[in-house]
Amino acid sequence: WIFSGAIDRVDGAPQSGDPVRVTDAEGQGLGFGAWSPQSQIRVRMWTFDDETPVDDAWVCSRLDDALALRRRLVLDDDTDCARLVFGEGDFLPGFICDQYADTLVLQCQSAGAERIKELAAAHLMKETGAVRVVDRSDAEVRKLEGLPLHSGVLRGAPLEGPIVAKERGVRFFVDVLKGHKTGFYL
C-alpha cells in the first residue's frame, strides 16, 4: 500500500482504479498499482514487476493462478465452496471471490477491484462453470474509496432462495444476498 503522504507527484491524470506505474524518487520503476484518488491508501500495488503492464491478460492470469491453487488445496467431491480469490494474497488488492456450489460471490473493496469487476466476473464464470455471479460490494470500507455500496446478481441466472453448498461433506444453506459478508463464513 502507498499512502497519500508518501507520493511526491502524479504524472498525468489517472482515473479511479486505473493502473499506474510507481517509481522511486530517482525515477526507478517499482511496479504497477491501482490508483485510488479519494482513499488515504492512494495506490495498492498489483505487481513489483516494472516490465509487465497490468492489463486484461495480466488480470486473467492472476485469476487463473488463484483458481489453480484453490482447486489443488480445497475443492474436491466433498467441498464445493471456497474463497477462490483473496485480495492482496492473490495480487488483486481489494478483490474477493467466494464460490458456493454453482454461484460466485464477489466483493470489490477498492477502486482497482471495482475497475476489474466485470472482466473478473466474466472470466471466473467461464472458468468455473458457475451459473451466476453475485456482487456483494456493500462493505462500508467502499465509502473510503469514494465508491457506492451495492448488492445483487451481477450476471447469470436469477437467485431464488439460499444456495446449498458443501464443505467437507456437510451441507449448508447460504444466503449470498443477506448473509455474513459474501454469505457464509468459509
Could you list the pLDDT tens digit for every one of the 186 residues in the chain? Answer: 999 999 999 999 999 999 999 999 999 999 999 999 999 999 999 999 998 889 999 999 999 999 999 998 887 889 999 999 999 999 999 999 999 999 999 999 999 999 999 999 999 999 999 999 999 999 888 998 999 999 999 999 999 889 999 999 999 999 999 888 888 888
Please, are residues 86 and 106 in contact by the beta-carbon 8 Å criterion? Answer: no
CA distance linking residue 93 with residue 111, whole number of Å: 9
CA distance linking residue 154 with residue 145, whole number of Å: 21
Element (H, E) at 17: none
Amino acid at 15: Q
Amino acid at 172: F
**What is the reported pLDDT for 183?**
81
pTM comes to 0.92
**What is the reported pLDDT for 74?**
85
The four Cα atoms 50, 53, 57, 62 give a dihedral, to 10 degrees, of 40
C-alpha cell at 101: 456450489
Provide φ and ψ at 87, rounded to 5°: 45, -125
